[in-house]
Amino acid sequence: MTSFKFLFIALFPACICLSQSSENAKLKYADGKELVNAMYDKYEGKWYRYFTFSQEMEFYRNDSVIKREVWHEAYAPGSLVIRFGAKNSRNGRLYRDFTVHSFHEGQAPQQSPRVHELLLVGLDIYFLKPERTVKILDSLGYNLSKIREDDFGGRRVYVVGADKGDERGRQFWIDAERLYMHRIVYTQKEKTNDVVFGDYTKIDGNWIAKTIIFKTDGKLSLIEKYYDIKFPKTVNADWFKPEKFNEVSLD
């Protein structure tokens, strides 16, 4: 009995290691870098290049709506322009080349460096070369060596960057079959943002999340609901030029 007990104790760590190795062996991708490459390869030349939409914005504080707005937006690889209120509004933002330009009517535009992480993992990842995406994610602090499987709303997902139970570490959740993003957690201005892409729908053959829910430090802060969604073949290049913001409309 004593001999068996010592044998069990000696073998137990080895069993744990074998079990963990077996779990890791089930994963299709060894790390986040391989997953980024797979996302790019799956949709290279197939993901929508241009995307225009309007959205109803509900801003929350203590689980109550404190403000409602309508925004109008247009996307092109590496760029997103937002107009607050109307399509010809002179109030809004332009994200381009990892810089955010802020416009307030009657004031000089302001700009500052900014990687829009939702754009990077949700859209730009299908256009940037994978090695560049990986470099940017590394610079932002995502631990791409960590990858695991999980469940998200009944769908199998790959989680990159955080262990199970970690709700604050930088991480992104990717649909295992369709390879689009369901969730991303990141830190901005010392606050943890937890963003869920929901209500995925196929429109004109393109997957699009029609509802996006934001939590800040665990509390609901914003719900975006998309409508008038279009995938034009071409768009006005001036939409994405800071110097043209006050001269053009998203019509």
Residue 17 lies in a domain: no
Domain that holds residue 148: 28-244
Tokens of 13: 């760590």
CA distance 251 to 107: 24
Per the domain annotation, does 21 fall within a domain? Answer: no
Provide the domain count of the chain.
1
Quickly state the pLDDT bin for 15 (edges 50, 70, 90). Answer: very low
Over range 125-144, report the average pLDDT. 98
Pairwise CA distance, residues 133 & 124, whole Å: 8
Beta-ladder partners of 173:
159, 183
Query: What backbone torsions phi and psi does residue 123 show, to the nearest 5 degrees?
Result: -135, -55
pLDDT, mean of residues 172-176: 98
8 found inside a domain: no
The mean pLDDT of 61-68, rounded to a whole number, is 96
Q: Is the pLDDT of residue 18 over 80?
A: no
Q: Is residue 163 part of a domain?
A: yes
Three-state DSSP class for 160?
A: strand
Q: Is the pLDDT of residue 239 over 90?
A: yes
The closest alpha carbon to 226, from 185, 197, 183, belongs to: 197
- Look at the block and give the residue holding tokens 């943890």: 192
Token code pair at residue 128: 């940037």
- Distance of alpha carbon 153 from its chain centroid, rounded? 17
* Residue 20 confidence (pLDDT): 40
87 assigned to some structural domain: yes
CATH number for the domain including 219?
A: 2.50.20.10
Compute the distance between CA of residue 251 and CA of residue 13 in angstroms, rounded to an integer.
64
Q: Tell me if 129 is assigned to some domain.
A: yes
Q: Looking up tokens 């190795």, which residue turns up?
A: 21
In a domain, 59, yes or no: yes
Alpha-carbon distance of 211 to 226, in angstroms, equals 6
Dist CA 220 CA 213 (whole Å): 8
Confidence category of residue 16, pLDDT binned at 50, 70, 90: very low
Q: Contact 80/73 with Cβ under 8 angstroms?
A: yes
Residue 239 lies in a domain: yes
Averaged pLDDT score across all residues of the chain: 92
Query: Following DSSP, what letter does each residue of 103-134 receive, concatenated?
Result: E-TTS--EEEE---HHHHHHTGGGTS-HHHHH
For residue 100, name the pLDDT band (cuts at 50, 70, 90).
Answer: very high
- CA 31 to the chain's CA centroid: 18
pLDDT above 60 for 5:
no
